[in-house]
Amino acid sequence: MDFQLTDDQRALRAGVRELLVRRFGRERLRAAVDAPDAPNLDRALWRELGEAGFFALRLPESAGGVGLGLPEAVLAFEEAGRALLTGPLVATHLAAGEVPGAATGETVVAAVDGTLVEWLDAADVVRGDVTGAVPMRSADPLTPLHRVPRAAPPDPVAALLTAAEQLGSAARTCELAVQHARTREQFGQPIGAFQAVKHLCSEMLVRVEVARGAVYAAAVTADPLDIAAAGLLADEAAERGARDCLQVHGGMGFTWESDVHLHLKRAWLRARRGQSAAEAEEALAEDLQSAAPGPRT
Amino acid sequence: MDLSYTPEEEDFRGRLREWLAKVLPGLPPKPSPDDWPGRRAYDLGWQRTLYDAGYAGLHWPIDAGGRGATPTQHLIFLEETENAGAPYVGANFVGLLHAGPTIAAEGSAEQRARWLPPVLRGEEVWCQGFSEPDAGSDLAALRTRAWRDGDDYVVSGSKIWTSHAEVADWCELLVRTDAKAPKHRGISWLAMPMDAPGITVRPLRTLAGSTEFAEVFLDEVRVPVANRVGAENDGWRVTMVTLSFERGTAFVGEVVACRRVLGELAREARKNGRWDDAVLRRGLGRLNAEFRALWRLTQWNVSESERAGGVPGIGGSVFKLRYSRARQELYDAAAEVLGPEALDLDSRWTLDRLSSLSYTIAAGTSQIQRNIVAERILGLPKGR
Ligand SMILES: Cc1cc2nc3c(=O)[nH]c(=O)nc-3n(C[C@H](O)[C@H](O)[C@H](O)COP(=O)(O)OP(=O)(O)OC[C@H]3O[C@@H](n4cnc5c(N)ncnc54)[C@H](O)[C@@H]3O)c2cc1C
């Protein structure tokens, strides 16, 4: 057992982070937020992601993919969550190898998840039954949403990749809070020297690290119960992390200009994907009735 | 990222499992919680059994009497012993989980040879004399003084909350050897024999009604200078090593135990009908997620320390913060399941619930752990 990132995995993570900083840095993000019309899918970026192997990561090399596994996909999606990367990333990733052009980023694929569809109008292909889809005014300014009458069953891999995005977002809001707490001064000292602020930040980190253990382990085992647990903890880390980050930023945190609300809204949206919290808890409760509950490895 | 175990590790697990199945049924009954001599004998007896079977000090270095096993093997050992319901370390807690590892890491060859084998063989019990009435969270404010007289230190002062002091042979003791130095600089780490003249142990009653810990008064107690681990006045650094073991690895087995307890609780709820309450049931499901994640974090931390050469990292504070809260939530959930029975002091659930309250205090309070995480991991400034 060596439950740490391998050198290759570290390199992959660094590579994805670097690509996203270059192609979807803060200015791009804000430009997308402030675009006059409905959010636009950046097709050029989508193709670049395709070229970098983001969608074909788990596709076998024989099928033109990168031939890596779930742990690598989770690391890539964690970076996407950090960067608040927009678009139906999970749906397109899952369609690679099944929908022509998805693997290369030529085709944008959306999918019904629960009773919601993200990016319905922008997608070339939509998986699931969208008859009767009604547009919503989406709380997340960067994710257009439709409601559909018939719910689609949750997919565990989609849930895991979503949890990875939540983890990335949680880690990022923790960082943003700490950066702010180090520099913003009140009462003649950085606010991070005040224990009330310090303790908010350390609890953020604890939630991130606990979620990280759960998400990475679920990526290794692909066990549905591990994935359910990872989802619960990653949702908690992302949602509470964004709230606490907002609190640490004070009034500035409540503005449109700060990025905190974007993390919070996206975290809320992701928490709606896949299995509901109630269903995940029920599944994990059922597991307790077996003789030896808990992970098998 | 790899969670699989090697064939050697699986083989080790299999043999351990077989051995446990063979020895556990033959163990004597557990003594009552207040029978201290009985508890000491029971805990030492189990340690001796482990020693004879080659399972004592598994991950300690070989020249410290250990088996030189990897942290992963030790993890398997803790998982299997807990899952099989083997006895808890009990009175051996300090010796095995932090004084011993500290001596293994910081002691001289003679010190290792003197103190480590008896811990492993189940012959000597250690206690921890760190806290004082006026130095708890602010541990470096300790005032117990030691001055040199020939080959001895002469120690006067008092310690408090010393767990298992009544039955201990040795005490890992922090003393002030230079009263004029800045507070972190004048401290030394001593091994004090608990039968030395001048030591008075006064048991304190805990909220659970037991005498788990005690006050220890020291009146000109002579401790040989040779019993100092680390250099004179360098005890704070040694203390950090002790605390990294205490917070870093000492709770590992308990996560597994909590997972087992949670399963028992769920089956109890099904028996008494409380399982039909969806809110309660979902709460137990959530706790399952929590303890699974804590187990994963444990595996993460163990792998990290394995790569770093065996000393636990700062991640222990992150773990302890979440674990100590989760443990309390577990026993609060038990009270929900049990109903009025949760007020019955003869129920082990009630005693365990009471004792769970200490986890956010002992080994550094949650507030102190949050300070450590914020300042040492996140790099936030120290407050005024
Ligand atoms: C069951 C049990 C067993 C123990 N066993 C041992 C043992 O064997 N050996 C030993 O040496 N000690 C032992 N202890 C002592 C334990 O380490 C101390 O109780 C603990 O470190 C807290 O110190 P204190 O009790 O003096 O509380 P205090 O330090 O007085 O703290 C009181 C409250 O103030 C808060 N506080 C203090 N300082 C700060 C700060 N800077 N910022 C924010 N909040 C702060 C604390 O978090 C706490 O809530 C044991 C304690 C318990 C409960």
Q: What is the pLDDT of residues B55-108, one digit of tens each?
A: 999 988 898 889 988 888 989 999 999 999 999 899 999 999 989 999 999 999
Residue B211 has pLDDT above 70, yes or no: yes
CB-facing half-sphere around the CA of B184: CA atoms within 13 A: 6
How remote is the CA of residue B136 from the centroid of ligand 1, in Å? 5
For residue B321, the chain A residues in CB contact (below 8 A) are 202-203, 206
CA dist A207 and B323 (Å) reads 12
State the pLDDT at residue A153: 87
Instruction: Tell me which residue in A3, A189, A285 faces B300 most closely, judged by beta carbons.
Output: A3
Task: Name the band, by pLDDT with cuts 50, 70 and 90, for residue A86.
Answer: very high
Q: What is the rounded end-to-end Cα distance, in angstroms, of chain A?
A: 10
How remote is the CA of residue B110 from the centroid of ligand 1, in Å? 33
CA dist A17 and A23 (Å) reads 10
Contact B289 A212 (CB under 8 A): no
Q: What is the 3-state secondary structure (H, E, C) of A116-166?
A: EEECCCCCCEEECCCCCCEEECCCCCCCCEEEEEEEECCCHHHHHHHHHHH
State the pLDDT at residue B310: 67
CA dist A33 and A56 (Å) reads 28
Nearest to A173 by CA among A262, A295, A54: A262
Instruction: Tell me which residue in A1, A290, A291 faces B4 most closely, judged by beta carbons.
Output: A1
State the pLDDT at residue A294: 76
Residue A295 has pLDDT above 90, yes or no: no
Task: Name the band, by pLDDT with cuts 50, 70 and 90, for residue B344.
Answer: very high
Q: Is B352 exposed, middle or buried (0-12, 13-18, 19+ CB in 10 A)?
A: middle
Confidence (pTM) = 0.95
Q: Are A244 and A31 in contact (CB under 8 A)?
A: no
Q: Which residue has the tokens 């080959």?
A: B151
Give the nearest ligand 1 atom to B363 CA: 17
Concatenated DSSP letters for B339-376? Answer: GGGGG-TTSHHHHHHHHHGGGGTTTS-HHHHHHHIIII
For residue A4, the chain B residues in CB contact (below 8 A) are 1, 300, 303-304, 307
Residue A297 has pLDDT above 80, yes or no: no
Q: What is the rounded end-to-end Cα distance, in angstroms, of chain B?
A: 41
The predicted model gives A132-161 an average pLDDT of 95
Residue A94 has pLDDT above 90, yes or no: yes
Contact B383 A278 (CB under 8 A): no
CA dist B134 and B142 (Å) reads 7
For residue B281, the chain A residues in CB contact (below 8 A) are 281-282, 285
Best mutation target, B6, B274, B307, B378, to test chain A (most A CBs within 10 A): B378
Q: Which of B124, B172, B246, B254 is catalytic?
A: B246
Nearest to A165 by CA among A252, A91, A246, A66: A91
CA dist B199 and B202 (Å) reads 10
State the pLDDT at residue A1: 87
Edge-to-edge strand order for the sheet containing A109-118? A125-127, A109-118, A145-152, A134-136
Joined tokens for residue B128: 């921890």
Best mutation target, B282, B292, B306, B360, to test chain A (most A CBs within 10 A): B292
Joined tokens for residue B114: 């003197």
State the pLDDT at residue B305: 85
Q: Which residue of B has its CA nearest to A201?
A: B374
The predicted model gives B115-142 an average pLDDT of 97
The mean pLDDT of chain B is 94
Tell me how far the alpha carbon of residue B13 is from its chain's centroid.
Answer: 23
Q: Are A68 and A57 in contact (CB under 8 A)?
A: yes
Residues in contact with ligand 1 (CB, 6 Å cut-off)? A 195; B 127-131, 136-137, 161-163, 212-213, 358, 361-362, 364-365, 367-368, 371
Q: Which residue of B has its CA nearest to A71?
A: B1
State the pLDDT at residue B313: 72
The predicted model gives A128-151 an average pLDDT of 95
CA dist A291 and A209 (Å) reads 29
ipTM summary value: 0.94
How remote is the CA of residue B186 from the centroid of ligand 1, in Å? 21
CA dist A108 and B239 (Å) reads 58
Joined tokens for residue B130: 């760190």
Q: Is A112 helix (H, G, I), strand (E, B) or coil?
A: strand
Q: How does strand A125-127 pair with strand A185-186? A: unpaired
State the pLDDT at residue A44: 95
Best mutation target, A194, A288, A290, A296, to test chain B (most B CBs within 10 A): A288
Measuring from atom 16 of ligand 1, which residue has the nearest CA?
B362
Task: Name the band, by pLDDT with cuts 50, 70 and 90, for residue B384.
Answer: low
**Active-site residue, B329 included:** no
Measuring from atom 38 of ligand 1, which residue has the nearest CA?
B137
CA dist A65 and A59 (Å) reads 4
CA dist A152 and A94 (Å) reads 15
Contact B370 A199 (CB under 8 A): yes
The predicted model gives A33-58 an average pLDDT of 92
DSSP conformational letter for B241: H
Instruction: Compute CA distances B221 → B153, B156, B175, B235, whole Å.
Output: 8, 7, 12, 19
How remote is the CA of residue B321 from the centroid of ligand 1, in Å? 14
Q: Which residue of A has its CA nearest to B271?
A: A289
| Number of helical (H) and strand (E) elements in chain A, helices listed first | 10, 6
**Chain B nearest CA to A60, separation (Å):** 20
Q: Is B216 helix (H, G, I), strand (E, B) or coil?
A: strand
Q: Which residue of A has its CA nearest to B284?
A: A285
Contact A182 B379 (CB under 8 A): yes
CA dist A237 and A169 (Å) reads 9
